[in-house]
């Protein structure tokens, strides 16, 4: 419940505010709602609720009215992320590539954060994130992984006799699995633990796309597998008097509990747990931070180290792609090009001509897209069937092989890829459509991921991924990587495009050899501005009428 996903405010104005409860149901990246909300203090559940304790914060415990946490950083940083160039506004706060030019993943940098209850772990996490100034940071909390209690245990908890401060009360297997997937860039569904029913909510919280993962909790160092996944281990060592004082203050003033109960709980469970399980794990730490979040020198050291690590992992991605040599290489066997009939050639002549009016450009590009879609659908596995006819003879025909193709959905790379959607819906009624927004950061020339929204359970689908044009293949690779991170099978992806540069074809095919690449034309070159030659110009600008 305490995963914080930091997204730059302003990166996606249209979906700001969508990080409300419905984002649990979709694979949507959380987007920060803005800067007007202060950072919330972590709501740590009372480990052993007593009978006299009123329910905790209703925000957490009312099913269906849960609120996912939105956390914002200082507003000043976000302002710099919107750049204007000419009369265009460019958002430069997407996620740069998190994989190399072979399409292989760079692992996320995992910071393990351990410390006793009320030691200031959350404050440290918050300060690290602020100082890092890196987008795409996820915070995963151990609190999400409390075990579901049996009826007896539930009663124990009600009698204040269930020990929440014991390693047995956590689901370490699930924790390891989740952290591992997150580290390898996969989408994860994090359980949402309901502290009233001591069960997991039906909905899960989706986390995807972190370059840095902060994993915090009281016993994060108690498991060997977890320790192995961490790139950096930080122990927050705060004096036990200070922790008790904080806990008293928090439980009494913020949660309305009685001092007796808090003290009883502290002595019975919290303190022994710290001494037995938490304090001894301090030996695993790379850095021990005394006094928690106030310790500026320790925080600076940590941030400097993480920055160095991230820099070592990053590289200029697109320029590397553009420089890759494919001269003289035959086009890959996974490329399928629509037959170049006189009509196809004629349609290309219309849409490539710079003098073509927008009305004609739209009309003829749509015709070409329709042919492209029909061609792509013939790539799906079909099987023979025999049907009865009104003429009384059996007819041997074909139909989609439903044992191989369960569901088909479209995913378009915004903005230009969206133009293929109408042609897709004309041919496949009721098709589900996902969207991925990728923009080029003009400062670095790198593609950046800004927004992802995909059908639920996309892993079961055959995906028709489309973009209007492909030059270097950088955006196509990023989009395919996103699909793979959502567990779509590589062989179930078809990538459609109207015009591709040979280089882009090679790049995509080399990184993802099982993806079918389907196009209506392959052009020879790309210029230094990453435009296809002879090409078609900026497809999106010509289609939507936003050219300068």
Question: For binding to another protein (CB under 8 A), which residues are involved?
Answer: 339, 341-343, 345-346, 348-349, 352-355, 363, 367, 370-371, 374-375, 377-378, 380, 382, 385, 387-391, 393, 395-400, 427, 429, 527, 531-538, 542
| Element (DSSP H or E) covering residue 212 | strand 212-217
Cα–Cα distances (Å) from 96 to 71, 85, 227, 323, 339, in that order, read 22, 20, 27, 18, 36
Torsions phi, psi for 494 (to 5 deg): -115, 130
Nearer residue to another protein within complex by CB, 14 or 342: 342
Handedness of CA 540, 455, 509, 512 (dihedral sign): positive
Torsions phi, psi for 232 (to 5 deg): -155, 135
Nearer residue to another protein within complex by CB, 242 or 377: 377
DSSP SS3 for 325: coil
Minimum Å gap between C-beta 321 and another protein is 19
Minimum Å gap between C-beta 495 and another protein is 18
Minimum Å gap between C-beta 433 and another protein is 19
Structure-token pair, residue 183: 């580290």
Nearer residue to another protein within complex by CB, 261 or 535: 535
Minimum Å gap between C-beta 402 and another protein is 12
Q: How many CB atoms lie within 10 A of CB 351?
A: 25
Q: How many CB atoms lie within 10 A of CB 189?
A: 15
Nearer residue to another protein within complex by CB, 39 or 336: 336
Minimum Å gap between C-beta 513 and another protein is 23
Q: Which residues pair with 397 in a beta bridge?
A: 385
Torsions phi, psi for 69 (to 5 deg): -75, 130
Minimum Å gap between C-beta 417 and another protein is 19
Minimum Å gap between C-beta 322 and another protein is 16
Cβ 61 vs Cβ 194: under 8 Å: yes
438 Cβ neighbours under 8 A, 6+ residues apart: 94, 413, 414, 447, 448, 449, 450, 475, 478, 479
Which region, left, alpha or beta, applies to residue 439 given φ > 0 means left and ψ of -120 to 50 means alpha? Answer: beta
- Which of 51, 20, 48, 52 is CA-nearest to residue 34? 20
DSSP SS3 for 69: coil
Using the structure block, give the residue that is written with the tokens 């991921």: 449
Nearer residue to another protein within complex by CB, 352 or 453: 352
Minimum Å gap between C-beta 533 and another protein is 5
Nearer residue to another protein within complex by CB, 324 or 405: 405
Minimum Å gap between C-beta 223 and another protein is 51
Nearer residue to another protein within complex by CB, 264 or 382: 382
311 Cβ neighbours under 8 A, 6+ residues apart: none
Nearer residue to another protein within complex by CB, 184 or 395: 395
Cβ 413 vs Cβ 504: under 8 Å: no
Nearer residue to another protein within complex by CB, 385 or 442: 385
Dihedral Cα 72, 73, 75, 79, nearest 10 deg: -100
Nearer residue to another protein within complex by CB, 134 or 338: 338
Minimum Å gap between C-beta 367 and another protein is 6
CA–CA distance, 210 with 6 (Å, rounded to integer): 9
């Amino acid at each position: 419940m305490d995963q914080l996903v930091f997204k730059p405010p302003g990166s996606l104005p249209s979906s700001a505010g969508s990080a409300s409860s419905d984002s649990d149901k979709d694979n949507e990246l959380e987007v920060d709602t803005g800067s007007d909300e202060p950072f919330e203090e972590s709501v740590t559940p009372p480990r052993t609720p007593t009978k006299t304790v009123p329910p905790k914060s209703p925000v957490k415990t009312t099913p269906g009215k849960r609120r996912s946490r939105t956390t914002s950083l200082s507003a000043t940083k976000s302002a710099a992320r919107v750049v204007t160039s000419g009369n265009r506004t460019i958002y430069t706060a997407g996620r740069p590539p998190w994989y190399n030019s072979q399409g292989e993943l760079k692992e996320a940098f995992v910071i393990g954060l351990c410390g006793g209850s009320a030691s200031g772990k959350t404050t440290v996490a918050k300060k690290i994130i602020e100082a890092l100034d890196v987008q795409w940071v996820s915070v995963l909390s151990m609190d999400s992984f409390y075990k579901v209690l049996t009826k007896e245990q539930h009663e124990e908890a009600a009698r204040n006799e269930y020990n929440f401060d014991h390693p047995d009360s956590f689901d370490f297997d699930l924790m390891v699995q989740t952290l591992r997937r997150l580290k390898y860039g996969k989408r994860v569904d994090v359980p949402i633990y309901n502290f009233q029913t001591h069960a997991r909510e039906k909905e899960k919280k989706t986390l995807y796309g972190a370059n840095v993962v902060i994993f915090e909790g009281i016993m994060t160092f108690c498991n060997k597998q977890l320790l192995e996944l961490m790139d950096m281990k930080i122990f927050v060592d705060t004096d036990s008097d200070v922790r008790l004082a904080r806990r008293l203050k928090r439980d009494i003033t913020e949660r309305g509990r009685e001092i007796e109960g808090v003290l009883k709980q502290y002595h019975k469970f919290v303190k022994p747990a710290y001494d037995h399980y938490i304090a001894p794990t301090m030996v695993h730490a790379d850095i021990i931070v005394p006094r928690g979040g106030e310790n500026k020198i320790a925080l600076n050291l940590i941030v400097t180290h993480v920055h160095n690590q991230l820099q070592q992992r990053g590289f200029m991605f697109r320029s590397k792609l553009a420089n890759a040599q494919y001269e003289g290489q035959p086009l890959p066997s996974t490329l399928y090009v629509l037959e170049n009939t006189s009509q196809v050639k004629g349609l290309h002549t219309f849409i490539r001509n710079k003098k073509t009016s927008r009305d004609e450009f739209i009309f003829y590009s749509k015709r070409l897209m329709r042919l492209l879609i029909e061609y792509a659908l013939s790539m799906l596995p079909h099987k023979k069937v025999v049907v009865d006819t009104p003429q009384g003879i059996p007819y041997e025909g074909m139909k989609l092989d439903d044992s191989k193709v369960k569901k088909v959905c479209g995913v378009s790379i915004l903005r230009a890829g969206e133009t293929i959607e109408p042609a897709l819906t004309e041919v496949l009624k009721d098709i589900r459509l996902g969207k991925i927004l990728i923009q080029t950061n003009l400062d670095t020339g790198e593609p950046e991921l800004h927004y992802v929204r995909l059908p639920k359970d996309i892993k079961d689908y055959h995906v028709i991924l489309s973009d209007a044009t492909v030059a270097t293949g950088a955006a196509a690779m990023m989009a395919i990587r996103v699909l793979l991170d959502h567990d779509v099978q590589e062989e179930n992806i078809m990538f459609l495009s109207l015009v591709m540069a040979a280089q882009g074809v090679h790049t995509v095919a080399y990184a993802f050899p099982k993806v079918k690449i389907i196009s209506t034309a392959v052009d020879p070159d790309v210029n230094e501005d990453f435009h296809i030659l002879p090409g078609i110009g900026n497809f999106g600008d010509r289609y939507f009428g936003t050219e300068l």
